[in-house]
Structure 1
């Protein structure tokens, strides 16, 4: 495992785009994360609260992104500890979040290819969700997606890019972040306007 070389390779590919890498550190040891931290990264993606508590104890100045499906009973704890939440996708979640006196940066997760096995908002309801978010919390800072492994990523990411562009025309204060692209498809996502890529295994191999 050559973490530094892997980060160099990804950073070179990123240099031509207006995007940033969020290293995903689920199930990684403190020593592995320290290599990424020492490289210069201060933002990390986590899938579990348990991993967050382990890692945040050692990297106290880091900012953490929650990138796993939300569980209603854990929403309060997630919002207390994470600065970015990428996976808001249900009206019920928005209702629970609206009761918290905590402001965080959230993404609306979109199930862009309507995969029954994945979380995310139905793409036909994106505008309805934006209005609901605006009314109950605030506009999200962007959209997030995880394509079905069998889908053509070019088609999926193109659809996300187009919908995001429409939203930016409608909402003048919408920042239009696009959180999409992981280890196997981040290079394609960059070509379709990704502003955040979430990469884990490509770093730690």
Structure 2
């Protein structure tokens, strides 16, 4: 699948849900791919946000294309918050403590990070994020931090051969966001992004599907 084909599928999924294709942003996940591959499979098709989940790998790529929009999508350790300023959006704030550490660093550097809170909707023990039960308190406390710009929620659905099996995950995250008045929903990856769009995703994080002929 190529990037234009992914965009076509996003548009078709949006139409099935009575939405416009412009309501969904593709975040092209470039982790694990070199500069030449990124040029060939992503950059040639337009100006899409690029998603990275490892700080060291991201820093080299940002240096190559500082003018691009970069999103941080992976697990973030507190000792790495000092590297977050180049990212226009951080998808993976998974605790109040991490948010507070980011806020302290941002205040020292004089900027206001845009963030999403990661929610472990399916309660998978190996994954990061707030549980649904923790989310109300997390949103209240993080929403009170003036240094941070809380935009919405993010989740990673369990891996499955049939995307229909995880539709409920996206539906629940959308309900949580609506309940709290949050507009951005980062959900859906290469294997399930169409179902995520049908359930209200405003951003889909697609990587593997882009880097194929």
TM-score, normalised to structure 2's length?
A: 0.86
User: Residue 133 of structure 1 contacts residue 139 of structure 1 at CA under 8 Å; is this kept in 2?
Assistant: no
For the residues of structure 2 that align with 1:61 and 1:6, how far apart are their CA atoms? 23
Provide the residue aligned with 2:59 in structure 1.
53
Match of 2:93 in 1: 88
- Structure 1: runs of 5+ lacking an equivalent: 169-173
In structure 2, the partner of 1:171 is none
State how 1:27-106 maps to structure 2 within 5 Å. 27-35=32-40, 36-77=42-83, 79-100=84-105, 101=107, 102-106=111-115
Q: Distance in 2 between matches of 1:154 and 1:21?
A: 19
Select the residue among 124, 130, 144 that pairs with 1:121.
Answer: 130
Q: Is the contact between residue 45 and residue 66 of structure 1 (CA under 8 Å) also seen in structure 2?
A: yes
Deviation at 1:196, TM superposition (A): 0.3
Deviations 1:18-58 (A, max 9, x none): 20110000111101111211210341000112221221222
Return the offset for 1:140: 1.4
Counterpart residue number, 2:29: 24
For residue 115 of structure 2, give the secondary structure of its aligned residue in structure 1. strand
What is aligned with 1:14? 10
Which residue does the alignment assign to 1:149? 159
Could you tell me which residue of structure 1 aligns to residue 172 of structure 2? 159
Larger deviation: 57-66 or 12-21? Answer: 12-21
Q: Which residue of 1 aligns with 2:18?
A: none
How far did 1:188 drift? 0.5
1:139 is displaced (CA, Å) by 5.0
Q: What is the CA distance between 1:104 and its match in structure 2?
A: 1.2
Structure 2: gaps spanning 5 or more residues? 16-20
